[in-house]
Amino acid sequence: MDLLIFDIDGTLVDSNEIDRKCFENSVYHVLGDKFSIDSKVLELFEFETDTELAMKLFMHHKGRYPRTYELNQVKNNLIQCFESFTSANGNFIQIPGARQLFRELKNSDDIALSIATGSWKISAEYKLDSTDIRWRYVPLISADKFRNKFEIINEARIQSRVYYGTSNFKREIYFGDKDWDERAAKKLGMKFINVDKTLNSNSIKGLSSFPNMTELMELFAEYL
């Protein structure tokens, strides 16, 4: 059995831009005049997860990490922003082919699926539900308890072994769209497949859209 672990933003869901805007707006409403929504402050930081970004923003503007109630306020504001966006613009958009492929993989006896995202759980679930990607009954590891993607992907591996009742998988492959996704996967000894909608064609090194399961398995057989 192969283990396939997927990122969400930019990988399954075309959500990077609205996620960034809503996150900035959500923090602004908690920090108030301590944080300028027109600033380019997000560009000052490299961050892998919602938790890491929130901690850096609060430290930058308040000289301390956010308290639990403040993080909860940011999370609630984030969902409200998503709801406003989808009410005005329609649901989030899947990366082409993601919904169909995920459904096919989920129904396969030879594939174990998991999700490892830098988003908070409440944010991740909203975006997946909005695109009608059938993620339930699949291990989903989020940034609520972790600050970086290495920890999140590793936890997804651990929980997947328990969930699927195996001590080892034949192959472990992570699908993501960021440099830190690739670094984390390689550090864990996993194969990495880059998902980038700007690519002109598909190969095992980069997918601009998701093929069907048969085509994906053919790519695996040829290159992995």
Give the mean pLDDT of the chain: 88
Instruction: Express each pLDDT in 192-222 by its tens digit.
Output: 998 887 776 666 667 778 888 888 888 887 7
For residues 86-110, give the mean pLDDT.
Answer: 94
pLDDT at 204: 61
Query: Helices 179-187 and 149-163: crossing angle, nearest 10°?
Result: 50
Fold of the CATH domain 2-14+93-223: Rossmann fold (3.40.50)
pLDDT in tens, 5-29: 999 999 999 998 899 889 888 988 8
The whole-model pTM stands at 0.90
* Integer Cα distance of 80 and 138 in angstroms: 26
Backbone φ/ψ region at 189: left (φ over 0), alpha (ψ -120 to 50), beta: left
Quick: pLDDT tens for 129-153.
999 999 999 999 999 999 899 999 9
pLDDT at 7: 96
Q: How far is CA 80 from CA 15, 23, 85, 166, in A?
A: 15, 11, 9, 39
